[in-house]
Structure 1
Amino acid sequence: MLCQACGKKTATTHIKTVINGKLTEYHLCSECAQQKGYGDLFSNWGMDFGNLLGGFIGNGFTSVKAARCPTCGASFDEITQSGKIGCADCYKTFREQLLPVIQRIHGTSRHKGKVPGGSALRVTGGHHQMMPVKESPLDEKKRLLKQAIEKQDFETAAVLRDEIKEMENHG
C-alpha cells in the first residue's frame, strides 16, 4: 500500500481515528508520518514499547481472526501485531483474550485509579459525596509490603510477602 500523502513510498504507519462514530484511516510512509507528527513515541526510550503488548499476547494465544471491533474495525491480529488497542470498545470486544494479558502486565485486571485521600466521589440523589474506598485484605497486605520495603524493614516485608502468596494461592 502506498503512502496517501506522497504516493511514492510504502505506507508503514497506519492511523485510525474515530470521531463521532466515523472511522477514518490514514496510511503514511515513515517520513510523511514524522512530518505530520505521528513519529514513534517510544523510539528514544531504548525499549520497544510497540511490541510490548504484542509480546505478551503472542505467548500462548491463538489468533481470533473472525472478530473485529464494531467501532474501530480493529482485529485481534492487528492488536497483537501493533501492540496497541484500537479504541475503548476493543476492550469489550476482545475481553476474553485481553484479560489474561492485562493481568500479567499489571498484576490485576481490576482498575484502581488514583483518588485523593483514598476516597471516591459517589453521586446519590443528585448530591456529590466523598466516600472512603474499601481496600481488600490482599490489597492492604500489598500496600503494607510496599511501605515495609520503602522503610527497608525487610523482615516485615518477608512475612507480608509470604502472607500475600498464601492469600493468592488459597483465596
Structure 2
Amino acid sequence: MICTQCGRPASRYTVTAEGRVREVVLCPSCYAVLLAGAREERGPVRRCPACGMAIEDYRRTGLVGCAECYRYFRRELLPAVRDLQGSVTHTGKTPGADAGENYELLLERARLRTHMEQCLLKGDDAEAERLREQIKALNAAIRGERV
C-alpha cells in the first residue's frame, strides 16, 4: 500500500472522527501527524498517575508502563485484552504433574504463612509461633517425612 499523503509505503488504519468511522492509508509519519492533530482537538492527554504513560504510548508500543496503567486505562485496555486473550478474567496456571497430591498441602502452607505474617504484624507472637509449628509439620509432610 502507498500513503495517500506522501506516496511512501503505508498501512491501513481505522479512524473515528466526529462520530464517523473511516479507513485511511498512511505511512507512519503521516499517521503521527494525523494523531497529533487529533490530540490537539481532544485537549490534554491523560497520563497514568503512577508512571506518566499516555494511552497513545500503549497504542504505539503495545506495552503498559506499570500495574496502575491497567486500572487507570481500564476502559481503553479491556477490549484489547479481550481480543488477545479471549477473556478479561485471569485464571492463572494449575500446578504441573510434579505437584501431584502435595498440591493441597502447598495451598494450606501458603495460607498458613499468610496468616502467620498477619499475626506477626499485629504482634500476636503466640499465634504466630503456633502457625510456625504447623508450617514445619506441613513441610515435613510435603517431603514425605513422618511428624
Question: Considering the TM-score relative to the shorter chain, is it more than 0.5?
Answer: no
Greater fraction helix: 2
Flag the structure with larger Rg.
2
Query: Which TM-score band applies after superposition, normalised by the shorter structure?
Result: 0.3 to 0.5
TM-score with structure 2 setting the length? 0.38
